[in-house]
Structure 1
Amino acid sequence: MSKKINDLSALGGFVFSTNKDFEFDNNDEQQATLPNNEQRLEAHLDKKNRGGKVATIIKGFEGTDEDLKALAKSLKTLCGVGGSAKDGEIIIQGNFRDKIMDYLAKEGYKVKRVGG
C-alpha cells in the first residue's frame, strides 16, 4: 500500500523542474531558542499506538533541534528512562508527567498540564 502525498514537503526536499534556469533557494533557517521563561510547554500523557504502554509527551518547545535534544536528555536522565526528541516534541517512556512538570517549572519554563 503506497503512502498518499498531500503536499510537496512529503517528497523529502526534492524539487523537480523542467526549467533550465531554475535555482533552488533553500531558506531553512533554524529559529533561535526562546529563553526558558518565554517557553510555553504542554505536558501530555499518551497511550495511543504504544501497545498499551504510557508515554509522557512534552509539546510546544520553540528552538533549535540541538536545544530540544539537550532538554530531552536531561529529562530522560531525571526519570531514568528512555525516550526521543523529534518534530518539536519530547517523548519520555512512562508516566512521569508530575515529576517532569516540577523539574521544568524549577528551570523557569511555563508548563501546562493537558488531559487527564
Structure 2
Amino acid sequence: MTKPKPPDSPFAALEKLRAELPAGPAPKPIAAPIVKGPARAVVRMERKGRGGKEATVIEKLGLPEKQLEIWCKELKQALGCGGVVDGDTIVLQGDLRPRLPAVLTARGVGKVTVG
C-alpha cells in the first residue's frame, strides 16, 4: 500500500515567504491613566424606569460634559459594556458595582462610594 498524498495547500507557498517579510510597525504604547481625577464618585445600581434592566450610575464626578463623554467611552472599553452620559451622570449597562471602584481609583478618583 502506498502513502496517501498530502492535500495541496494553496497557502504552503505563502508560509515559506513569511520569513522574508519585514517586521511590522511597533505597537502603540498604551496611554498612561490620568493621575489626577475627580475628588469623589458615587456609584449606585438602579432598575427603576429601565424596564427591569440593571444599570450602574456614576454620579458627582464634577467633570465638564466633554470630559464625561471621554470618561464614558474609556469606562465602556475597560469594562466591556454599553453606556451613555445622562446629564451630569454616566450610566453603564449592567451591575458593575464590584468591578467599577477599582477602575475609577486607577483613573485617579479620590474617594469612591458604592451604594
**Structures share a fold, TM > 0.5?**
yes
Corresponding residue of 2:58: 58
Moved over 4 A (4+): none
Whole-angstrom distance in 1 between the partners of 2:98 and 2:73: 17
Q: CA deviation at 1:100?
A: 1.3
Corresponding residue of 2:82: 82
Whole-angstrom distance in 2 between the partners of 1:63 and 1:80: 22
Q: CA deviation at 1:39?
A: 2.2
TM-score, normalising length: structure 1: 0.63
> Which of these two proteins has the greater Rg computed from alpha carbons?
2
Corresponding residue of 1:26: none
Write the letter of the residue equivalent to 2:74.
Answer: S
- The alignment of Structure 1 onto Structure 2 pairs a total of residues equal to 79
TM-score, normalising length: structure 2: 0.64
Q: CA deviation at 1:97?
A: 1.5
* C-alpha RMSD over aligned residues: 1.2
Deviations along 1:11-54, whole A, 9 cap, x unmatched? Answer: xxxxxxxxxxxxxxxxxxxxxxxx41x42110000010111110
SS of structure 2 residue aligned to 1:53 = coil
Unaligned stretches of 5+ residues in structure 2: 1-35
Whole-angstrom distance in 1 between the partners of 2:63 and 2:83: 19
Corresponding residue of 1:71: 71
Deviations along 1:72-91, whole A, 9 cap, x unmatched? Answer: 11111112111101211000
Q: Percent same amino acid among aligned pairs? A: 30
